[in-house]
């Protein structure tokens, strides 16, 4: 079946503009995660959704970052007033549930954000 999809694949924006990044999880997956991968670094956890609620937003780096999820489907990560340090690849993942460690997280291809 279809995997996790993300759009856009690439986004170049000017400093100070707002951007929205979209994630379509695998159908039936109740858990959704956003991670960030800066150049040469590992992935950093940003936020976790179980259904449409976000029990853990602890990884969001500032109040310029927000995310929402519609039901158990699409999620949008919004970055307001972008800064150059926001440049990274933003990865979305989904799993059947977030409550069991055995469930694998499946990753999307990512959105490469460049802030000029």
Partner 1 sequence: GNSVTQMEGPVTLSEEAFLTINCTYTATGYPSLFWYVQYPGEGLQLLLKATKADDKGSNKGFEATYRKETTSFHLEKGSVQVSDSAVYFCALRSNDYKLSFGAGTTVTVRA
Nearer to partner 1 by Cβ, of 50 and 66: the residue is 50
Q: Pattern of binders to partner 1 over 8-47, x per CB under 8 A?
A: -----------------------x-x-x----xxxxxx--
| Among residues 28, 53, 84, 104, the one that binds partner 1 under rule CB under 8 A | 104
| Among residues 7, 26, 96, 107, the one that binds partner 1 under rule CB under 8 A | 107
- Taking the C-alpha atoms of residue 100 and residue 3, their distance in angstroms, rounded to an integer, is 20
Residue 106: strand pairing partners: 94
* Residues in touch with partner 1 (CB under 8 A): 3-4, 31, 33, 35, 40-45, 48, 56, 59, 91, 93, 95, 98-99, 101-102, 104-110
């Amino acid at each position: 079946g279809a995997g996790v999809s993300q759009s856009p694949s690439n986004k170049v924006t000017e400093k100070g503009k707002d951007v929205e990044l979209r994630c379509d999880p695998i159908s039936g997956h109740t858990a959704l995660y956003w991670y960030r991968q800066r150049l040469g670094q590992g992935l950093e956890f940003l936020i976790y959704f179980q259904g449409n609620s976000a029990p853990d937003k602890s990884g969001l780096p500032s109040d310029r970052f927000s995310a929402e999820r519609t039901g158990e489907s699409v999620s949008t990560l919004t970055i307001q007033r972008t800064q150059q340090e926001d440049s990274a690849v933003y990865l979305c993942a989904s799993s059947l549930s977030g409550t069991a460690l055995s469930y694998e997280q499946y990753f999307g291809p990512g959105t490469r954000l460049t802030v000029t």
